[in-house]
Amino acid sequence: GIQVEQSPPDLILQEGANSTLRCNFSDSVNNLQWFHQNPWGQLINLFYIPSGTKQNGRLSATTVATERYSLLYISSSQTTDSGVYFCAVRRSGGSNYKLTFGKGTLLTVNP
């Protein structure tokens, strides 16, 4: 099946700093989503971005499908940004419609 690798596995920032999280995948995809898992375990949708660039406030994401990677940018980080960030993809074609998740990046933002 498709492989999804996220880096870095852990990231510690001071409030106000910027960061870039990376997601590499091993096959062509027609769905790529970024999630933030909050302290209660809820997966919050950040971006649906199988290709191109999107921005939402302090967060933005870029997916270069031809090179099989996606980047999540967090600017001016806040303590509330802390948590685990997951990248998940669905391989193009075939009949399996599942999302395959990476292992996540644990982000800690200190005041």
Query: In this chain, which of 45, 57, 66, 111 binds other proteins, going by CB under 8 A?
Result: 45
> Taking contact as CB under 8 A, which single stretch among the options 13-21, 58-66, 67-75, 96-104 is the one that binds other proteins?
96-104
Nearest distance in Å: CB 7, other proteins = 15
- 39 lies in the site for other proteins, by CB under 8 A: no
Query: In this chain, which of 5, 22, 26, 50 binds other proteins, going by CB under 8 A?
Result: 50
Partners of residue 90 on adjacent β-strands: 31
Nearest distance in Å: CB 93, other proteins = 10
CA distances from 13 to 26, 75, 106, 111 (A): 29, 11, 11, 9
Give yes or no for a contact between 64 and 70, defined as CB atoms under 8 angstroms apart. yes
Q: Is 99 helix (H, G, I), strand (E, B) or coil?
A: coil
Phi and psi at 66, nearest 5°, equal: -65, -25
- 97 lies in the site for other proteins, by CB under 8 A: yes
Alpha-carbon dihedral sign for residues 78, 107, 56, 62? positive
Instruction: List contacts with other proteins (CB under 8 A).
Output: 30-31, 33, 35, 40-43, 45, 48, 50, 86, 88, 90, 92, 95-101, 103-104
